[in-house]
Structure 1
């Protein structure tokens, strides 16, 4: 129990990054009693260790004065480079992404890990090479919304201090070390199955954890069926390899050793078989780059091996506790990683379910529990995950993974081709199951972390043979999930949600019973802002857009249009560039729940480009909102004398100098303005001249690049709007500068 307490204390220190949890742990240790206090005093020490590691990690991040600067570093590539061909700025180009560990630099002392991106590089970078590189640095700030990836937390958990764009590279020493050999293995596998794009993407992921060959559709197939865990070298893969070597060692190697070296006969065959099993498991984990799941598996195997040598039984809970504590002591900031939570939660669920269920029931119940946790962590339902895993786990465990590893070790391409054929079969099964499951999850809200834990607890209690209360009360565990929703609105009240989508625009205007989606953010070859941020937000809150307005056809406004059902009515200023949309024409209007939506621009003889943007006025009970898209000053001047006064103005064209004229501000007279722009983007939006005009007019500016997702609700108390800025009201330690704080 003590090891679990210490592990949880480290996690608390890392997650909160302040000192009050240390005081709580100290009080808990003192409350344990005089005889046990000395043992529990390790809890505040562990918590303080977590806080210290958090502050150390924050202090190592890129300093503000180096943001956007180009520096020359020497260092080594410590990851397998990811090579992809993508469409960027309208043309196809080669991209490469890798992790680079720098040597000491006078402008940035110490060694740092930098995640480097290279676009059409003059030469391909290889794993293990020592290089001299010129990097344009930027902080891994990322976007911040109620849903989607928190890049700042992700980078801190991975030990990445900054991100950068490669501007120049010079080879100092050829590739060597672990990452070099991992890349060689990945290349050999890809060459052996080059005729199968699916196998070429999946098999390197199973051998060395290289997922760069997975295209967007293939990755979506695994995610949609809850089988994405098969692509990461996890405890399952390591256990399969260790188990196979253990049996082979017990049957073949150990008897030979006992015949050659009589002193080994003091140990049983079961005990000696652990040595080759641990050795091979460590080698396989090294191929995976010692990812968190493989570290957990290695520690658990080591605990079991020690227990076997000492002829003691050890429970799964004890080995799991030792594994968690060992990982957190060596890599405390991994407590912020979703991989750690999913990996250890899976084993914890297995241990809990094993207490009262047979293996066959465990195969059914485990995927259900993991499905719930995955839905909360990764914002995607996989309702047929139990069925998919019943088929795919044995297929990968008994056929694909053994064939792949034997093919790599033996150099026989035929084995790899056989594994590739089995992978193609698995993908056919997944796509069939994904088609079946898509309608099933369409109307089910995604759970939050809290509601998912309640669902998992309720399901677990329901499966126990006996609980200390009537089982008819267990449906109450569903309430956090069934009741999760947005705050109710009154008749005539509206609420604007501005998503943080970088250099783009995505807005949701909600009335009491309806929702308008205005623009959808950008898209790229392997995803979109809509898929990663907007759709999970809609699903989590159980709402569906009643209408979409895509202001015009530029990617930063219309990119996510493809991700929404074609049955949703659409209006656009450029219907020829936005599939499935009708023309947006001045004079169009509709009413929802006492809120009027009016189209002010464009006219029938619409211009082209940004000036074709669909301009919408939202009028509620004493509150008005203007959504101008990307119109320029030309449209603003043409509409002079027709602009209404509003309370909130969304800045046109992200606050560029070409819009938001002084003449417009004199007519509109907003109290608040909202700019949706990328953080320190090279376009420089919102422009200084626009900010100066707004300041001169007494307008309060809200910015997604500084505030994250913004929620603005009209008709607040005392005629003051309710404004939620995500980076302030939902701030976390990793979004703040380093500094010791009690609260």
Structure 2
């Protein structure tokens, strides 16, 4: 069964990498291949066959199982995608009737929750016949936000039935290179629309709450959270206590997350397999102890059912309850199904190997949720267990052999400890005391060695996965986890569980004790995380670097005697060394990130990097920390030479604090008031601060940077009237006069043949465009234009576009944004010029390389010195079947 479930998982993973769901002909081909492989496996796997033939049989089993897994995942995906929000109903008032399905998450702005839809209808319109067809395939689950505006949000509990007026969007998330796919997380939760309660005054609480096992668990989770919050108030680590009790992580503070990420202990706040096993063991031991003492109540229950079997059943039920309270996450599921498989085997009088139990857990998890493979928890949880099994397979046998002590050992110990004519009783006492001390010392040393070996194996095995998912490797992780894991698992978690079991008000002191224990842990983690080398940031590895690192893990954890084990770390070098940029001197790469409604553009040369704007901050979508910094980490850019903040609008500069905190910044150029707190934050981060002004010029790797706006001096007018406008120009073609700059070449070149450039115009308005045209029309010429003000009607005038003559126009806009950007008339102006258009709400992030290529004609008088840059659109090159466009 191990081969079957592993092949099944391979097929599921393969389906989740598809750009589109397979058609019926592909499904039929997979089923035919599975049947053929199954017949072949049956024939080749018979006893008496040679090893090669039996190996072929196992390969056939893998193929058959992989095909079945692929088809099964495709069927589940088709079923899930059949329900959706009609495009005609987007951003319109819709009346939904249903119930709250999960534990609501609270934040500074309001409450977020999942809503199970029972009946949808357009608000203010009588039901029509076509609405029945829409309702039949309407999204069954939506993610809603209830924002606290004029009135506080009412207390929302799982199972409550409501009639709400909402505004919804299809499940559309930001899409960026090297950053987690937000839409993948939505489809994994079967959320087919997102939105907010638009008319809170019309919200109506309906009688008759929803019932069910799932709702009961969610209510229990909410009750636990409320009890802990009441006991701890605003204590700094209350979110961790809540997470250990019910798996909800919405109350964990930013400081705690930052500390745990730096020390590699983030897994401790998730109810993991270790916690599930701990609860199962404690409850199983308690049940067995009570069962054995049933004689005190006049029963002989152990004679009817052995205490061991009762302990297994009790432990499994406790594990199931705790997994339900934890939200049934993937690590909890994995531990629960492994316990269930081992328990069933024990009850039936059979034995099952650990790897077989793990394979069954893998299969059950993917049968329930084929989208589990899209989460980091799936790979980290199963990867850690596989690493432990692989690394410890030889240690158990060696420990058993080393701890066996026979009578000869006892006799030698007695002789060494005693000489003379003492009595035989004293000799025997010293002999067995020596044996006991030796056994305890050997056992303690074995436990310490085994614990260290397990920690080493898990750290080594998960390093490539940590680099893939988080673009970092905590170097102090082994040391931090060495004391954090036993402290949280053996000390803090049992205290939290005791508090959960005790009734109020007895639970409050226990929760406060658990919090104090976490305070001590935080102090210790702060101590080990102080060195600058504590956290190693690495670029997101490519397929070959990841494969080499995985081979190195197997090599390093191989049994002793394996050849050249010392050379295994060499295979991790591609994981640690940033890949070359691939940019020649004189060329630059422009990446316009998809951050929703806002702007953030990265300019890279051969050896330098500039970030133009940082996107929205905590007041909005937190794109600075959710998108910008993770993208820089994935690129391996730990230092920005310059951060340009074009102006003081939150959708451009709101994420600056996250960037300053996340990466090193050499210089900040900004058009914000001298009293703005960004200047103080930049200086505190060690960056030089310069007011952005026209006339500023510099050159990196042959690429010229020139600031065109605003004028030097005090900033005047509204923020859009003095935003920074930057022009980036590639190097002049080979054969130009030595030492000739790109600007000089542009001045000397024909008017229709300028060097390739990109113009970053921020939120420049029509008045700014007219001023720039009047000053120097030729200075605006650019192949690539980041469209002013997201394509609003107040920018992109006809004279401005005639001056720029863009070949590629990039619109950074949010999906279904409330400003209705880009304006249709503005969009038509670009289309009339046959400009290649890209939009972040349709294409996701856009990346293109700009370099000078000599024209084919000898005269060099062609219209452009290089072919138009070809933009790479994320939603085209990295498309998945769940992506909405």
CA distance 1:70–1:527, shift in 2 (3 Å) = closer
Which string of whole-angstrom CA distances, capped at 9 and with x for unpartnered residues, describes residues 309-368 of structure 1?
A: 233332221111101111211222323233322222222222222223433311333234
Match of 1:650 among 786, 791, 794: 786
Match of 1:552 among 632, 647, 657: 647
Asked if structure 1 preserves the Cα contact closer than 8 Å seen for 2:455 and 2:482, the reply is yes
Asked if structure 2 preserves the Cα contact closer than 8 Å seen for 1:586 and 1:600, the reply is yes
Asked if structure 1 preserves the Cα contact closer than 8 Å seen for 2:5 and 2:65, the reply is no
| Aligned mates of 1:54, 1:447 — CA distance in 2 | 28
CA distance 1:251–1:456, shift in 2 (3 Å) = farther
Unaligned runs of 5+ in 1: 86-93, 738-743
| Aligned mates of 2:220, 2:596 — CA distance in 1 | 37
Q: Could you tell me which residue of structure 2 aligns to residue 88 of structure 1?
A: none
CA distance 1:460–1:516, shift in 2 (3 Å) = same
Q: Could you tell me which residue of structure 2 aligns to residue 103 of structure 1?
A: 118
| Aligned mates of 2:394, 2:11 — CA distance in 1 | 30
Match of 2:706 among 583, 592, 598: 598
Q: Number of aligned pairs?
A: 727
Q: Could you tell me which residue of structure 1 aligns to residue 691 of structure 2?
A: 583
| Aligned mates of 1:449, 1:185 — CA distance in 2 | 43
CA distance 1:706–1:212, shift in 2 (3 Å) = same
Which string of whole-angstrom CA distances, capped at 9 and with x for unpartnered residues, describes residues 391-443 of structure 1?
A: 1111111111111111121222222221111122222223333333x444366
1:351-390 matches, within 5 Å, as: 351-357=389-395, 358-390=450-482
Matched, 1:667 2:809: no
TM-score (structure 1 length as normaliser)? 0.91
**RMSD, aligned CA:** 2.7
Asked if structure 2 preserves the Cα contact closer than 8 Å seen for 1:132 and 1:172, the reply is yes
Match of 1:410 among 496, 502, 519: 502
| Aligned mates of 1:646, 1:11 — CA distance in 2 | 43
CA distance 1:394–1:32, shift in 2 (3 Å) = same
| Aligned mates of 1:595, 1:445 — CA distance in 2 | 24
CA distance 1:171–1:653, shift in 2 (3 Å) = same
Q: Could you tell me which residue of structure 2 aligns to residue 4 of structure 1?
A: 6
CA distance 1:566–1:303, shift in 2 (3 Å) = closer
Asked if structure 1 preserves the Cα contact closer than 8 Å seen for 2:287 and 2:311, the reply is yes
Match of 2:814 among 663, 678, 688: 678
Matched, 1:283 2:321: yes
| Aligned mates of 1:459, 1:54 — CA distance in 2 | 34
1:121-160 matches, within 5 Å, as: 121-160=152-191
Deviation larger for 333-342 or 580-589 = 333-342
Matched, 1:431 2:526: yes
| Aligned mates of 2:835, 2:7 — CA distance in 1 | 51
CA distance 1:55–1:469, shift in 2 (3 Å) = farther
Q: Could you tell me which residue of structure 2 aligns to residue 89 of structure 1?
A: none
How far apart are 1:293 and its partner, in Å? 2.2
CA distance 1:695–1:52, shift in 2 (3 Å) = same
Which string of whole-angstrom CA distances, capped at 9 and with x for unpartnered residues, describes residues 14-50 of structure 1?
A: 4434366964766755664634579664542332111
| Aligned mates of 1:240, 1:162 — CA distance in 2 | 38
1:223-622 matches, within 5 Å, as: 223-256=261-294, 262=300, 264-265=302-303, 267-357=305-395, 358-411=450-503, 412=506, 413-436=508-531, 438-441=532-535, 444-447=538-541, 451-452=545-546, 454-466=548-560, 470-471=564-565, 474-482=568-576, 484-485=578-579, 487-524=581-618, 528-543=622-637, 544-562=639-657, 563-564=659-660, 567-574=665-672, 576=674, 577=676, 578-579=678-679, 580=682, 581-605=689-713, 606-608=715-717, 609-621=719-731, 622=755
| Aligned mates of 1:103, 1:319 — CA distance in 2 | 39
| Aligned mates of 1:410, 1:618 — CA distance in 2 | 65
Which string of whole-angstrom CA distances, capped at 9 and with x for unpartnered residues, describes residues 361-404 of structure 1?
A: 11333234334423322344322221111111111111111111
Indicate the SS of the match to 1:381: strand
Asked if structure 2 preserves the Cα contact closer than 8 Å seen for 1:365 and 1:386, the reply is no
Q: Could you tell me which residue of structure 1 aligns to residue 734 of structure 2?
A: none
Asked if structure 2 preserves the Cα contact closer than 8 Å seen for 1:499 and 1:710, the reply is yes
| Aligned mates of 2:607, 2:35 — CA distance in 1 | 49
| Aligned mates of 1:300, 1:285 — CA distance in 2 | 13
Matched, 1:734 2:882: yes
TM-score (structure 2 length as normaliser)? 0.77
Matched, 1:172 2:206: yes
Matched, 1:725 2:873: yes
| Aligned mates of 2:841, 2:874 — CA distance in 1 | 11
Match of 2:22 among 18, 23, 30: 18
CA distance 1:530–1:203, shift in 2 (3 Å) = same
Deviation larger for 673-682 or 352-361 = 352-361
Matched, 1:184 2:223: yes
Asked if structure 1 preserves the Cα contact closer than 8 Å seen for 2:172 and 2:183, the reply is yes
| Aligned mates of 1:525, 1:233 — CA distance in 2 | 30
How far apart are 1:76 and its partner, in Å? 1.5
How far apart are 1:466 and its partner, in Å? 4.8
1:680-719 matches, within 5 Å, as: 680-715=816-851, 719=867
How far apart are 1:635 and its partner, in Å? 0.8
| Aligned mates of 1:694, 1:75 — CA distance in 2 | 45
| Aligned mates of 1:418, 1:118 — CA distance in 2 | 34
Indicate the SS of the match to 1:239: helix
| Aligned mates of 2:458, 2:509 — CA distance in 1 | 34
| Aligned mates of 2:236, 2:295 — CA distance in 1 | 42
Asked if structure 1 preserves the Cα contact closer than 8 Å seen for 2:782 and 2:806, the reply is yes
| Aligned mates of 1:199, 1:479 — CA distance in 2 | 38
Asked if structure 2 preserves the Cα contact closer than 8 Å seen for 1:157 and 1:335, the reply is no
Which string of whole-angstrom CA distances, capped at 9 and with x for unpartnered residues, describes residues 507-537 of structure 1?
A: 1111222222111111116984233333333
Asked if structure 2 preserves the Cα contact closer than 8 Å seen for 1:353 and 1:460, the reply is no
| Aligned mates of 2:162, 2:186 — CA distance in 1 | 22
Indicate the SS of the match to 1:568: strand
How far apart are 1:456 and its partner, in Å? 4.3
Indicate the SS of the match to 1:18: coil
Asked if structure 1 preserves the Cα contact closer than 8 Å seen for 2:6 and 2:359, the reply is yes
| Aligned mates of 2:644, 2:467 — CA distance in 1 | 29
CA distance 1:43–1:637, shift in 2 (3 Å) = closer
Unaligned runs of 5+ in 2: 46-56, 121-131, 396-449, 683-688, 732-754, 854-865
Deviation larger for 316-325 or 404-413 = 404-413
